[in-house]
Amino acid sequence: MNVLTVNHLSVTGKQHTIVNDISFQIQAGEWFALVGQSGSGKSMTASAIGQLLPPNLQATGEINYAGSDLLALRPSEMREIRGKRLSCIFQDYQGSFTPFLTIGRHFEEYQQRHLDLSKTARKQQAKQALVSVGLSEEMYTRYPVQLSGGQLQRVSIAIALLLKPDLLIADEPTTALDSVTSFKVLELLSRLQGETGCAILFITHDLRHVRKYADRIAVMKDGVIIETGNKDQILNHPKHAYTELLIQSSPSLRTMRLSAEGALR
Amino acid sequence: MEVAVARKRKNSSKRWKMALLFSMAALLFAGIVYTFLVLNHDPSFVKLTERLLPISPEHPLGTDHLGRDVLTRLLLGSQLTVGYGLAALFIAVIIGVPFGLLAGFKGGFADRIFMRIADVFLSFPDTLVAIVLSGLLGAGIENLLLAIVLVKWVSYSRLVRSTVLTERQKDYVMIAKINGLRSSRIMIKHIFPHVIGNVLVLASLDLGKIILLISALSYIGLGAQPPAPEWGAMLNDARPHFQSHPQLMIYPGLAIVFIVLMSNLLGDYFRDKFDVKKEVGN
């Protein structure tokens, strides 16, 4: 069953086309990776799904979610879907939090908007969410600046998954984290996906993050999806030269050693 | 790292400013206490037999050309000058801030319209607007107030607008949006608090300018009218006696310097406190 079907989506500015006629489907509960280098239009695709494009960009085509076209929804209808059915985590963990509100206040804001719970129940739920991402309950009263990058990204995951959305858009969530922390965050995402059964649209430029977790991969270049398929198929038998280049250029310790040997020879 | 930068700034040689600010505040407090506890003269009580008296226990700063107690007029004048200055500032902020919030947050057509209106208001020098308004509506402190509000609200709108424009592009606004919050909620809860510090800095720096403006225009007869003990008007009253009794001009002059300096120091203090890195426009 498809959670989200994107048909012939294009994102255009005044003079140029950023995303050009792309189509893909995301199935319920799968980890769908959208891979490509910077400027390939990955993030704009994600923004179009959330109706979050900057006002100077126009999206055309169809984004089908649960029988309705997200691009055609009115702002009030879109607000109902956002947060509850669809949520987001970003690369910039520090900027994802309003600096003068405590972590608890952030939870409160979204709980008050979508849930009808008592104050103690809200607090309880938020603290449980913090524990479920491996943080202590004390974080509830802390301010965003008091947390480390990895902790903040965990909190944003906890907030994003609080209302059990069907689809989580993760826009390069690990790019700004060091490799150990990003590994932990990915593990966490994968575990929570197993628990909540949400689909993840994972946007990244780095195939290393995709290798272990993704079910299916779409490779994007210059606003076009050039290849879509299962992880193994894409990684082991890339049809497109660019995909091969991406795989080649993704640094791993093993290949680096090989190329160093090559250079010595 | 940001914390370290802020701390470095605070420890710089700005201590004398704090000391000055505190001693001025103490002096002001003493003035207020004196006004309420000791003061027993009527600021408008004319007694021509006691005109131009020197300093005495009865009249700590002497009397003016109509025999009125100078200290009384100076202290009650502070309520007038500072009170009207604060009132003008308050109204300008009340009008300016919501406009700026709206223009910055809505963007697009509303913003463009707002910017053109702001340009129109900014193109008039404030003194000129005050003189023209007084000419049209008659001289008086209320019209002066109106003129000040008319020229000052724009700078608040523009400051707030620019703050909102930078803040609303940050990811947390996007996150708040994607979590389904309403625009009005995002504006009030997530963006507005960023604005407060900047507005406070600009307002405290503006207070001095507004007081100068009120005094200047009262001096040329466009603001407070004669019996009122406004400082600018007092300066004007003292003008004919400048050569024989210069102290009559020096007292209100010093009072204006005192308040303006204090407002500037307060503005500096707030700026350091809120660490406003942006340039605060005039």
pLDDT digits (tens, 9 = 90+) for B57-80: 777 777 887 878 888 888 888 888
In chain B, residues with a C-beta closer than 8 Å to the C-beta of A113 are 179-181, 185
ipTM of this complex: 0.77
Going along chain B from its start, the domains and CATH numbers come out as 63-274 (1.10.3720.10)
The whole-number pLDDT of residue B187 equals: 87
Whether pTM > 0.80 for this model: the answer is: no
Q: A98 vs B6, which has greater pLDDT?
A: A98
Q: Does B57 touch chain A (CB under 8 A)?
A: no
In chain B, residues with a C-beta closer than 8 Å to the C-beta of A81 are 180
The strand order across the sheet containing A224-230 reads A86-89, A167-171, A199-204, A31-35, A216-221, A224-230
Q: Do B180 and A92 touch (CB under 8 A)?
A: no
Q: Do A113 and B172 touch (CB under 8 A)?
A: no
- The pLDDT-based confidence of B157 (bands split at 50, 70, 90) is very high
Task: Number of A to B CB contacts under 8 A, please give it.
Answer: 63
Angstrom distances, CA of residue B49 to CA of A8, A240, B247 = 95, 106, 19
Distance from CA of A254 to the nearest CA of B (A): 36
Interface with chain B: mutation pick from A76, A88, A98, A100, highest number of B CBs within 10 Å: A98
The yes-or-no verdict on residue A201 having pLDDT over 60 is yes
Please give the average per-residue pLDDT across A219-245, as a whole number. 85
3-state secondary structure chain B: CHHHHHHHHHCCCCHHHHHHHHHHHHHHHHHHHHHHHCCCCCCCCCCHHHCCCCCCCCCCCCECCCCCEHHHHHHHHHHHHHHHHHHHHHHHHHHHHHHHHHHHHHCHHHHHHHHHHHHHHHCCCHHHHHHHHHHHHCCCHHHHHHHHHHHHHHHHHHHHHHHHHHHCCCHHHHHHHHCCCCHHHHHHHHHHHHHHHHHHHHHHHHHHHHHHHHHHHHHCCCCCCCCCCCHHHHHHHHHHHCCCCCHHHHHHHHHHHHHHHHHHHHHHHHHHHHCCCCCCCC
Strand A216-221 versus strand A31-35 pairing type: parallel
Please give the average per-residue pLDDT across B191-198, as a whole number. 87
DSSP-assigned beta bridge partners for residue B56 = none
Going along chain A from its start, the domains and CATH numbers come out as 29-41+74-250 (3.40.50.300)
- CA-CA distance, A29 to A197, in Å (whole number)? 5
The whole-number pLDDT of residue B97 equals: 92
The whole-number pLDDT of residue A184 equals: 85
Q: Do B181 and A114 touch (CB under 8 A)?
A: no
Which candidate from B108, B178, B185 shows the least CB-CB separation from A88? B178
In chain B, residues with a C-beta closer than 8 Å to the C-beta of A98 are 172, 176, 189-190
Q: Does A85 touch chain B (CB under 8 A)?
A: no
* Share above pLDDT 90 across residues of chain B, in percent, rounded to a whole number: 8
Interface with chain B: mutation pick from A109, A145, A161, A201, highest number of B CBs within 10 Å: A109
Which candidate from A83, A90, A96 shows the least CB-CB separation from B180? A83
Which candidate from A80, A82, A92 shows the least CB-CB separation from B177? A82
Angstrom distances, CA of residue A19 to CA of A40, A61, A64, B174 = 8, 11, 17, 20
Which candidate from A84, A95, A101 shows the least CB-CB separation from B170? A95
Distance from CA of B178 to the nearest CA of A (A): 5
Q: Do A92 and B178 touch (CB under 8 A)?
A: no
- The pLDDT-based confidence of B282 (bands split at 50, 70, 90) is very low
Lowest mean pLDDT among A13-22, A49-58, A167-176, B53-62: B53-62
* Share above pLDDT 70 across residues of chain B, in percent, rounded to a whole number: 92
Q: In this predicted model, what pLDDT tens digit does every residue of B86-105 receive, in sequence order?
A: 999 999 999 999 989 888 88
Q: Does A253 touch chain B (CB under 8 A)?
A: no
